[in-house]
Structure formats: structure tokens, C-alpha cells
Amino acid sequence: MKKDITIFQKKVYNAASLIPKGKVSTYALLAAVIARPGAARAVGNALNKNPYAPKVPCHRVVKSDGCIGGFASGSKNKREILKTEGVLVNKNKIVDFENKLYKF
DNA sequence: CATATGACACTAT
DNA sequence: AATAGTGCCATAT
């Protein structure tokens, strides 16, 4: 017990919390920066367990295509949150995705 | 150590 | 453009 957290997840949460409001990032991009390219799935796994729910804006992490993807609280609710942050979403797709994409 | 799972990505059809 | 199949990595059991 005591924070069943791995180095990998620590990096993921850290990077995710660095994403500014109104911006979004992708699993693949995060993976490529914090650990290793291709670990997009692993990043999603880490965020899914996300023990720092309000601390880590996991909702700012989306798919490389700009799709919302899946979320623990429900992708439907996720769109609403992003909208509040200033990121408009159209049918699970980020509006101006490339423009709102935050690169590390 | 091997198998199964998952908030993904890419290529082929 | 949409769908399906395959590959990749980390975690859980």
C-alpha cells in the first residue's frame, strides 16, 4: 500500500499536470516524452488508475487523432469538462485539435 | 515467468 | 471515410 505508484505513472501524472488549461495532449506524445514512444497504451493505463483525480487533469489527454477516447468518469462527461476549460469538442473530436495540442 | 487486460496507434481493406 | 486487424508497452493476477 502507501501509494502503489510506479516511476512510470509518476512521470505520467507529472506531465499531465503540466498541461495548461485550454490545451490538450495525446497519449503517444506523452509516452514519447516521459518514457518511450509507442507506450501510448501504458500511458492510458496509468491515467486510468489516476489516484490524483482533481490534481491531475487527465481529461486533457486525448487520442492522437483528436478523439476524446475513453475516460474513467465517462467520455460524455469529459467533453463537458473540456468545454469548460475552453476546449470545444464536436462529436468526441477536439475542435482545432492541432492548435490546442500542447507539445512538451 | 506466462497470460490477460486496457483511457492507444498504425496499416490494410 | 469507416471498420478491422495487428503491434506496443505497463500493470495486475
Residue A2 has pLDDT above 80, yes or no: no
CA-CA distances (angstroms) from residue A59 to A1, A2, A65? 26, 25, 15
Catalytic residue from among A31, A58, A61, A82: A58
Residue A3 has pLDDT above 80, yes or no: no
What does pLDDT average to over chain A? Answer: 95
Q: How is residue A50 annotated by DSSP?
A: -
Round to a whole number and report the distance in Å from the CA of A38 to the C1' of C6.
14
Condensed to tens digits (0 to 9), the pLDDT of residues A63-98 reads 999 999 999 999 999 999 999 999 999 999 999 999
pTM: 0.94
Q: Is A67 a catalytic residue?
A: no
Round to a whole number and report the distance in Å from the CA of A26 to the C1' of B5.
21
